[in-house]
Amino acid sequence: GAATAAQPGAGAGVAGIRFAAGAGDNAGAALGLGARSGDAVVSIGTSGTVFAVTDAPVHDVSGTVAGFADAAGGWLPLIATLNAARVLDATAALLGVNHADLSDLALTADPGASGLVLQPWFEGERTPNLPDATATLFGMTLASTTRENLARAAIEGVLCGLAEGLDAIRAHGVSPTRVLLIGGAAQSPAVRTIAAQVFDLPVVVPEPAEYVALGAAAQAAWALTGARPSWGEEDGSDAERGALVPGIRSQYAARLP
């Protein structure tokens, strides 16, 4: 619309100023990424989020999946986890390594970390809804308890928790065809490799950018011009396409309450 009221703090009315509704952070990120129906976005920052772009709303009476609207006239079913990149921060600190070394250690270990499973609920958890939970390391033997396996178990634990959330979204009839992986942890080679093994979908890692800010800019441009910008849309040509390793998810699921 166009503003007709006086501008706050100004002495005279200012006509012709175009205005539009804003967007929340996840809706802004989806728009900034150019995400479309069929895309699932997995963000691994301090906390984690998984959301899909859909043409129809999702109603989850359990409250696990939040049925948000997106910024482009569609919908954004979403789950959030409390423990994501900070689990990797804590594991790197425990092992006395930086994040590059943590990635190298994890890729040295076999998928499944020789049965070592980290349930990474260091600060309680939101998905599943267990606010008083603590982290637990399962499967510790003299053979399995190595630096390499611990590094891999930390990454697998974070990604399996997010994959459980993606499954919750899928349970409502959403069928994503690829994952857009963003957030600081997405720059880790081990996270990228293991994500493809866990999600069983092509994993695309866009160039690091402020996607929420880009989404806000795209929304403003859309409101001004009447046409959706095509900034930042990923064609998926550089997707990570590792084969699913079922044992990673199954041993994690076996430890769920």
Q: Active-site positions?
A: 25
Give how far Cα 156 sits from Cα of 13, 25, 70, 112, 234, Å. 58, 26, 29, 8, 25
Instruction: Quickly tell me which residue has 């092992």 as its tokens.
Output: 95
Q: Is 42 exposed, middle or buried (0-12, 13-18, 19+ CB in 10 A)?
A: buried
Phi, psi at 184, each rounded to 5°:
-55, -40
Tokens of 73: 């006239």
Beta-bridge mates of residue 42: 50, 181
In sequence order, which ranges of the chain are alpha helices (DSSP H)?
25-33, 85-95, 99-108, 147-170, 189-199, 211-225, 246-253
Residues 224 and 218: their CA atoms lie apart, in Å, by 10
Q: How many CA atoms lie within 13 A of 244 on its CB side?
A: 9
Q: How many Å apart are CA 226 and CA 235, to the nearest integer?
A: 24
Tell me which H or E stretch contains 75: strand 75-81
d(CA 11, CA 8): 8
SS3 of residue 197 by DSSP: helix
